[in-house]
Amino acid sequence: MSPDNAINERGQQLLKVLVEKYIRDGQPVGSKTLAEETVLGLSSATIRNVLADLEAHGYLRSPHTSAGRVPTVKGYRFFVDSLLTLQPLDNTAFQQFQQQLSPDQNVQDLVSTASNWLSEVTRMAGLVMLPKREKILLRHVEFLPLSDNRILAILVLNEHEVQNRIIYTDRVYNLVELQQAANFLVTTYAGQDIQQVRRQLAGAMQEERTHLGQLMQTAVEFGSKALASPADAAKDYVIAGQNHLLELAGETGVERLRQLFEAFTQKQDILHLLDQCLSAEGLQIFIGEESGYAALDECSLVTAPYSFEGKPVGVLGVIGPTRMSYDKVIPVVDITAKLLSAALNQGYLPPD
Partner DNA sequence: TTTAGCAATCTCTCATCAAGAGTGCTAGTA
Partner DNA sequence: TACTAGCACTCTTGATGAGAGATTGCTAAA
Residues that bind DNA (CB under 7 A): 28-33, 41-46, 48-49, 51-52, 55, 62-69
Those residues whose C-beta lies under 8 Å from the C-beta of residue 37, and which sit 6 or more positions away, are 17, 21
CA distance 203 to 221: 11
Give min distance, CB of 7 to DNA, in A.
13
Q: Which residue, 9 or 148, is less far from DNA as judged by CB?
A: 9
Q: Which does 104 bind (CB under 5 to 8 A by kind): DNA, a second copy, none?
A: a second copy
Q: Which is nearer to a second copy, 228 or 249 (CB)?
A: 249
Q: Which residue from 139, 126, 125, 18 is spatially nearest to 79, judged by alpha carbons?
A: 18
Residues in region 149-208 near a second copy by CB under 8 A: 150, 152, 154, 156, 159-160, 162, 164, 166
Selected from 1, 67, 212, 249, the binder of a second copy by CB under 8 A is 249
Least distance to a second copy from the beta carbon of 248, Å? 10
Choice between 33 and 224, CB closer to DNA: 33
Of all helices (H) and strands (E), which one includes residue 332? helix 326-344
- 139, interface contact from a second copy, DNA, none, CB < 5-8 Å by kind: a second copy
Among 74, 123, 139, 198, binds a second copy (CB under 8 A): 139
Q: Sign of the CA dihedral 45, 50, 56, 61?
A: negative
Residue 166's binding partner among a second copy, DNA, none (Cβ under 5 to 8 angstroms by kind) is: a second copy
**Site residues (CB under 8 A) for a second copy, limited to 85-114:** 104, 106
Cβ atoms within 10 Å, residue 224: 18
Q: Cβ–Cβ contacts within 10 Å for residue 134, how many?
A: 11
- Host H or E run for residue 150: strand 150-157
Q: Could you tell which of DNA, a second copy, none binds residue 67, using a CB distance below 5 to 8 A set by kind?
A: DNA
Residue nearer to a second copy on the CB measure, 145 or 331? 145
Nearest distance in Å: CB 113, a second copy? 15
Instruction: Name which of DNA, a second copy, none residue 41 binds, using a CB cut-off of 5 to 8 Å depending on partner kind.
Output: DNA
List % helix, strand, coil for the chain (3-state, nearest 5): 50, 20, 30
Name which position in 53, 142, 221, 298 contacts a second copy (CB under 8 A): 142
* Axis-axis angle for helices 326-344, 107-122 (nearest 10): 160
Q: Minimum distance from CB of 269 to a second copy (Å)? A: 15
Shortest Å, Cβ 168 to a second copy: 9
17, 59 Cβ separation under 8 angstroms: no
Residues 6+ apart with CB under 8 A from 336: 97, 114, 117, 118, 304, 316
Burial 176-208 (b: 16+ CB within 10 A, else e): ebbebbbebbbebbeebbbeebbebbeebeeee
